[in-house]
Amino acid sequence: MTTTGLHVVGRSVERSDRLGHVTGRTRYTADRTFPGMLHLKMVRSPAHHARVRGIDLAEAERVPGFVRAFTAADVPHNRYTILSLIGVEPEDELVLAEERVRFQGEAIVAIVAETEAAALEAVSKVRLDLEELPAVFDVEEALRPGAPIVTDWGTNTFMYEGHPCRRVRLGDVEAAFASADHIVEAVYRSSPIEHAPTETTGCIAVPEPDGRVSVYTNTQALYFSLDNTAIILQVPGNRLHFIGGTVGGGFGGKVDVIVEPIATLAAMRTGRPVRFVYSRAEEMLVSSTRSAWRIAIKDGVMADGRIVARQVTSYADSGAYSRQTPYALTKHAANAAGPYTIPNVAIDAYCVYTNRQPTSAMRGFGVTMASFAVEVQMDRVAERVGLDPWTVRFINAYHEGDLRPHRKRAEDVTLIETMQAAATLVGHELPAELRAMTSAPRPDGDGGPAR
Amino acid sequence: MTRLRGIGVAAVNYPTGMNLGGDPSQALIHATTSGSFVVSLSSTDLGQGLRTVIGQIAAETLGVPYEEIVVDLGDTDEGPHCMGTFASRATHRVGNAVMAAAREAREAILDVAAEELEASPDDLETDGEGGLRVRGVPDRSVRIADIAALAQFKYGRTISGRGSYMKPKSPVDPETGAMDPDSTEAHACTVAEVEVDTETGQVAVLSIRSAYEIGRMVNPALVRSQIEGGAWMGMSHALYETTAPYYPSMDHRPRDFSEYLMPGPLELAEVVESVVLEIPSSNGPYGVKGIGEMTANSPIPAIVNAVYHATGVRIDDLPITPEKILRGLDALAAAPGEPER
């Protein structure tokens, strides 16, 4: 490079889409309309867990404006999992339910009709014969013997290469607990939350004269949606053209591939544009949420505040299907000891299936609840040893080059400098020895603190 | 009635990009006849401003004004593969791909300019405002826009560039968990101040003040937007939101924003302050790290710790509802001075 200095990186140039956003003229997916467009609505399970004994469409088909109904038998590759693209198995989710529904709101029949009102009317006329089954909603209850089994593989946990949890092991936590001055234990819990984007999940699939289908969608990942749709419909990728890029908030919820495959199938089978846009109630009750978490932390702490062992056992509720949650547990396991250097760490992170609505990616993917648990735990540790909350974080903070529990040397580390900047911002005077610290590699050179 | 005030602190790291890697993003750039540059992507702008920061990175690398960049994103026929906008990856991954594409396009510009100016490409420099000159010879200069037109109509050449960025996929050892789960780490430290009403159990967040270290800011105003939005989302997570307010009963789950509890304008923290350290990362475009997700993380434990500091009630079960506060205060009153465990 022959330029010197930076000209536009680092400047607050006005965002290029600002005028459209603030005047309401930006065109989002659901703002589009096409001649002859049909509307898709789902018949959903009223039960949390049930066997599907029968589906009676006769009355629905007589609703004026009804065009067509789709059931599992109409979907070429009905059983899928979105992360199969990066090698995650097994395929566990159904585009439309077959013999069993596993959460309240699970899609069973897709109805397309001339108007939204006709589609809703037809949905209300579908008669389902369901045999309700016992359901489980709690991650720890789901792991007890005799609990209802949600999956098809006989356990309520995702299997990580032969283990029912993602494991991280460094050193010997039991030996370190035995020699620690204090043991500090607590269990942290969280409820699921909704992504709550301003724009609900949706798409419009439009058959083109050349035999391709244009799919206007607010997915966060266009090729991810296209590739999964091609697998589910068993069509070559070149039949599909996905168009989006302008999205009214995602927060992870729009990495799922839920609306595009069935809308595209309906467009191909009817030869007409098909619109499938979630109502706010569907966004709330059916689309993915953040997992419910339960995180147990046990720390071995020396009298001077050094944490010498940390054992973390985490359970994240995947709901009825995998979606992105098994991958979130791996990211969780990599971060569950926090930004601290602890020589003995054992982490077991379980991805648990229940009869709740599926969970998936959400802002902070596996780390948000780890940060909550670890940072409240750090205050507990501080209180136990009689240190202030700042000091206990500084003396345990990781440094550049430290060995992390997952055995990678830490890179680009600035935790200490960031805490110093926060103290300055709020006018909290740190003791001189904390002000003098840096994240620079430790002098002993092996990346582990002298213990 | 008493209003009790407390302060809580929390410090976090956050990894940039899909944690195990294997998540490519690609970019194409070409010049138009008038010297604009079209950046073609299949990436997505979620409202956070990706279009703008991509334009800034392309302009910076090409050496042209920001206004000359057209960012064409969100189309699988027009843009090459992008894994998607998630995992705090877009500015880092897409930015790196765009930077690589812009470097290749820039070399094509310099080749044509060198021919036109009868100079070596190595002796040319850009001024960042669309001008190009022979180093040390101010009168031998040319506009990049003119070079773009000459490339088309005089030399019959393309001015274009291809870029790709991917961190190779890391395996995970199933026994030890040995893995490479990040590209770079961003950091945050939040100090929250709360006021708890001991009669109603209501928690008011007075301020959320944070320091961030995110490598380099491409657009400081957009970074501030992320920090403010994340602070409110974290606050909402800590104090308000649940999809199952009557758990373990699954009845009466909220169906819309009138039933799903979130803070309104009167409840949001009035003070959201931040300071951003810029310590460039080793592998981000111009040293960036991801900030997208992490801004919602540190406010949550900072608020929980502040509530404890204010009241002595330690709540380990999110969200912190007024009921949990009042029950905790009752328990403290029943057993004053009882150590926590």
Q: Quick check: B189 and A419 CB within 8 A?
A: yes
Selecting from A241, A415, A424 the residue whose C-beta is nearest the C-beta of B76 gives A241
Q: Quick check: B44 and A247 CB within 8 A?
A: yes
Distance from CA of B125 to the nearest CA of A (A): 5
A436: exposed, middle or buried (Cβ count in 10 Å: 0-12, 13-18, 19+): exposed
In chain A, which residues have their Cβ closer than 8 Å to the Cβ of B24?
none
Where in chain A are all domains bearing CATH 3.30.365.10? 166-193+289-435
Selecting from B51, B66, B243 the residue whose C-beta is nearest the C-beta of A17 gives B51
What is the CB neighbour count within 10 angstroms for residue B183?
28
Q: Quick check: B247 and A137 CB within 8 A?
A: yes
pLDDT per 10-residue tile (average), chain B, 341 residues: 95 96 97 96 96 98 97 98 96 98 98 96 94 91 96 97 97 98 97 98 98 98 96 97 95 96 90 96 96 96 98 98 97 77 42
The answer to whether the CB of A71 falls within 8 A of the CB of A109 is yes
What is the CB neighbour count within 10 angstroms for residue A425?
16
Selecting from B10, B185, B248 the residue whose C-beta is nearest the C-beta of A138 gives B248
Nearest CA in chain B to A188: B316
The owner of tokens 């460039």 is B280
Q: Which CATH class is domain A166-193+289-435?
A: alpha beta
For B104, the token pair is 């290749």
Q: How far apart are CA B114 and CA B142, in angstroms?
A: 10
Q: Quick check: B83 and A223 CB within 8 A?
A: yes
Single-letter amino acid, residue B271: V
In chain A, which residues have their Cβ closer than 8 Å to the Cβ of B220?
10-12
The closest of B314, B46, B305, B110 to A244, measured between CA atoms, is: B46
CATH number of A36-133+196-285: 3.90.1170.50
Q: How far apart are CA A42 and CA A337, in angstroms?
A: 42
Q: How far apart are CA B341 and CA B324, in angstroms?
A: 18
In chain B, which residues have their Cβ closer than 8 Å to the Cβ of A411?
182, 184-185, 282
Report the sign of the C-alpha dihedral through residues B102, B108, B113, B119, in that order. Answer: positive
Sheet of strand A50-56: strand arrangement: A100-101, A50-56, A127-132
Q: What angle do CA A396, A402, A408 make, to 5 degrees?
A: 125
Nearest CA in chain B to A11: B219
Q: How far apart are CA A171 and CA A176, in angstroms?
A: 9
Single-letter amino acid, residue A184: V
DSSP string, A265-327: HHHHHHSS-EEEE--HHHHHHTS-BPPPEEEEEEEEE-TTS-EEEEEEEEEEEEETS-TTHHH
In chain A, which residues have their Cβ closer than 8 Å to the Cβ of B77?
241
Give pTM, 2 decimals.
0.97
The owner of tokens 């790290």 is B289
Whole-Å CA distances, B296 to A393, B50, B227: 20, 19, 8
Selecting from B86, B233, B255 the residue whose C-beta is nearest the C-beta of A285 gives B255
Q: Quick check: B273 and A425 CB within 8 A?
A: yes
Maximum Cα–Cα distance for chain A, whole Å? 80
In chain B, which residues have their Cβ closer than 8 Å to the Cβ of A8?
56, 59-60, 65-66, 128
Interface size between A and B, measured as CB pairs under 8 A: 377
Instruction: Give chain A's radius of gyration (CA, Å).
Output: 26
For A200, the token pair is 């609900």
* Element of type H or E holding A113: strand A107-113
Single-letter amino acid, residue B279: I
Selecting from B49, B218, B281 the residue whose C-beta is nearest the C-beta of A412 gives B281
Q: Quick check: B126 and A3 CB within 8 A?
A: yes
Selecting from A5, A9, A245 the residue whose C-beta is nearest the C-beta of B44 gives A245
In chain B, which residues have their Cβ closer than 8 Å to the Cβ of A15?
49, 51-52, 219, 221-222
Q: Quick check: A220 and B294 CB within 8 A?
A: no
Residue A446: what pLDDT? 55
Q: Quick check: A371 and B12 CB within 8 A?
A: yes
- Give the active site residues of B: 293
Q: Quick check: A242 and B76 CB within 8 A?
A: yes
In chain A, which residues have their Cβ closer than 8 Å to the Cβ of B22?
86
ipTM of the complex, rounded to two decimals: 0.97
Q: Quick check: A421 and B275 CB within 8 A?
A: yes
Selecting from B124, B127, B217 the residue whose C-beta is nearest the C-beta of A10 gives B217
In chain B, which residues have their Cβ closer than 8 Å to the Cβ of A407?
176-179
The answer to whether the CB of A378 falls within 8 A of the CB of B308 is no
Residue A447: what pLDDT? 53
Report the residue of B44, B98, B144 to disrupt the A interface, i.e. the one with the largest count of A CBs within 10 Å.
B44
Q: At what angle do helices A222-233 and A259-270 cross, to 10 degrees?
A: 50
pLDDT per 10-residue tile (average), chain A, 451 residues: 74 94 95 98 98 98 98 98 91 98 98 98 98 98 98 97 97 98 98 97 98 98 98 98 97 97 98 98 98 98 98 98 97 98 98 98 97 98 98 98 97 98 98 98 66 42
- Sequence-distant contacts of B223-229: CB under 8 A, at least 24 apart: B223/B276, B223/B291, B224/B274, B225/B48, B225/B49, B226/B48, B226/B291, B226/B292, B226/B295, B227/B272, B227/B274, B227/B276, B227/B291, B227/B295, B228/B272, B229/B295
Does domain B25-165 fall under CATH 1.10.10.920? My reply is: no
Distance from CA of B155 to the nearest CA of A (A): 24
Q: Quick check: B213 and A192 CB within 8 A?
A: no
Fold of the CATH domain B3-16+184-334: Aldehyde Oxidoreductase; domain 4 (3.30.365)
The owner of tokens 């550049």 is A400
Distance from CA of A346 to the nearest CA of B (A): 9
The owner of tokens 């870029």 is B163
Q: How many CA atoms lie within 13 A of A316 on its CB side?
A: 36
Report the sign of the C-alpha dihedral through residues B237, B241, B244, B248, in that order. Answer: positive
Q: Quick check: B190 and A365 CB within 8 A?
A: no
Q: How far apart are CA A375 and CA B192, in angstroms?
A: 13
DSSP string, A393-424: HHHHB--TTPBPTTSPBP-S--HHHHHHHHHH
Q: Quick check: B76 and A226 CB within 8 A?
A: yes
Q: What angle do CA A37, A269, A208 make, to 5 degrees?
A: 60
Residue B149 has phi, psi (to 5 degrees) of: -70, -45
Domain boundaries in chain B?
3-16+184-334, 25-165
Domains B3-16+184-334 and B25-165 in one fold: yes
In chain A, which residues have their Cβ closer than 8 Å to the Cβ of B191?
422, 425-426, 428
Report the sign of the C-alpha dihedral through residues A431, A437, A438, A439, in that order. Answer: negative
